[in-house]
Amino acid sequence: MAPVKIAVMGAGLIGKRHAAHVRAEPGAALSAIIDPAPAGKAFAEEIGVAWYPGFDTLPAGEKPDGVIVATPNQLHVANGLELVAANVPMLVEKPLADSVDSARKLVQAAEAAGVPLLVGHHRRHNPMIRKAREAIDAGRLGRILTLNGQFWLVKPDDYFDVDWRRQEGAGPVLINLIHDIDLFRYLCGEIVSVQALSSNAVRGNPAEETAVAILRFANGALGTVSASDTVVSPWSWELTTGENPAYPQQDQSCYQIGGTHGALTIPALELWSHADKRGWWEPLRRERIPFVPEDPLQAQVRHFCAVIRGEEQPLVSGREGLATLAVIEAVKRAARSGAPVEIAPEPAPARAKA
């Protein structure tokens, strides 16, 4: 079987990681880097692949089988609509867009054209998350009642030397918490309302640095989640999972999910339950659910290839990315207003073209 030809659009930090994973995937071939910046051209030359300043500059015979869009957030929709027009499947980095309204335009266009649209919430591809979902779906926790999640770490001072990182929309809600919200939706169902507060008390930048949210799920579960990029702590996905070796891994948890018959910690996958009778005086047993670790970005590339070949349906579709972005937008509105925000369901998708 011929490898799937994938181009990477955007050669920043995440674009370079995507390029490396495409090159490492036996069923894929990195066909081009698409980036107008001189640094993008230099990167393409460094790794020995074709370079183009824009998708519209690709020769007719060089059309890829799929494109990973890793450009700045505000360009995602324009880039995606260009790929829809060319009938090219795409994997768009999170967030899908910089607003729900613009994301909806891309999702509706892709659905109407029948073009596969995947969103890069790569943590869903982590085998540990798959095992957590299996335990929840099997009823091992009973009815899910509550969950808690934390993203607490400190970004170094020089991180904020780049101007956009100090501006509205560059804080941990949209940049970091969006990952956690997507996993909460995947594990526990749809979120229908939020309450939130945010603060920029330390740095004083337009971007928030700390936020706390209360989540109400459609199934009745309640959740709390907090995010701060100015707290020294071991409690975040980055520092507990070992997913990215750049972060020193800590033997701690970042999520706890509680139900009527058990509680689960992530990432350790420690399942706490009673052997027989439930009660506060009854001894608790602890079971660690085993899983085989795998780089979720690599698994995501493999899945993208399978979707392009028509072998699988998207794990994180455009609609899934849109729904997660809607929750994040609600968190930001709730933090600004101080009032609860209800999240309206999206209308049914349009039929794809025959």
pLDDT in tens, 3-46: 999 999 999 989 999 999 999 999 999 999 999 999 999 999 99
- In three-state secondary structure terms, 308 is helix
Q: How many Cα neighbours within 13 Å face the side chain of 258? A: 9
What average pLDDT does this structure show over 260-268?
Answer: 98
pTM over 0.75: yes
**Per-residue confidence (pLDDT) for residue 351, from 0 to 100:** 61
What average pLDDT does this structure show over 206-233?
Answer: 97
Strands 4-9 and 28-34: parallel
**Per-residue confidence (pLDDT) for residue 169, from 0 to 100:** 84
**Per-residue confidence (pLDDT) for residue 342, from 0 to 100:** 97
Residue 168 has pLDDT above 70, yes or no: yes
**Per-residue confidence (pLDDT) for residue 209, from 0 to 100:** 97
**Cα separation, 125 vs 41, whole angstroms:** 30
Residue 339 has pLDDT above 90, yes or no: yes
What average pLDDT does this structure show over 158-182?
Answer: 92
**Per-residue confidence (pLDDT) for residue 126, from 0 to 100:** 97
Q: Which residues pair with 147 in a beta bridge?
A: 223, 257
Model pLDDT for residues 109-148, shown as the tens digit of each residue: 999 999 999 999 999 999 999 999 999 999 999 999 999 9
Q: How many Cα neighbours within 13 Å face the side chain of 275? A: 6
Mean pLDDT, the chain, integer: 95
- Please give the sequence-ordered ranges of beta strands (E in DSSP) within the chain, or none if there are none: 4-9, 28-34, 50-52, 66-69, 90-93, 117-120, 144-152, 191-199, 210-217, 222-228, 255-259, 263-266, 270-274, 284-288, 341-342
Residue 345 has pLDDT above 90, yes or no: no
Residue 349 has pLDDT above 80, yes or no: no
**Per-residue confidence (pLDDT) for residue 158, from 0 to 100:** 94
Residue 348 has pLDDT above 80, yes or no: no
**Cα separation, 195 vs 116, whole angstroms:** 34
